[in-house]
Amino acid sequence: MTTRSTSADFVTAFATGWPEEQPDIMVLSLTTQRGVQDFALNKEQALLVAKTMTETANRLARPKTS
């Protein structure tokens, strides 16, 4: 995975929460133009994803206002 495309599929993601039958995981569903993929994350992985997303969002350029 040394080369990546410079374009990306449109992606929507949401966490389906902590499943009642298996409260030790969280399911993250990603929908792209190619279909849906589900990922099971443990608590540490979920917290790392949330931390990384927060840090990245804070570094994004502010929207231009008129």
Q: Which two tokens stand for residue 23?
A: 């409260």
Range of the domain at 34: 12-59
Which parts of the chain have pLDDT scores under 50? none
Which residue, chain included where needed, has tokens 């992606």?
11
The total number of structural domains that make up the chain: 1
Cβ-contact 40, 24 below 8 angstroms = no
Is position 55 within any domain? yes
Is position 4 within any domain? no
The CA distance from 47 to 28, in Å, is: 12
Give this prediction's pTM. 0.61
Is position 6 within any domain? no
Helices H, strands E: what count in the chain? Answer: 1, 3
Q: What is the pLDDT of residues 31-47, one digit of tens each?
A: 777 788 888 888 899 89
Is position 49 within any domain? yes
Is position 28 within any domain? yes
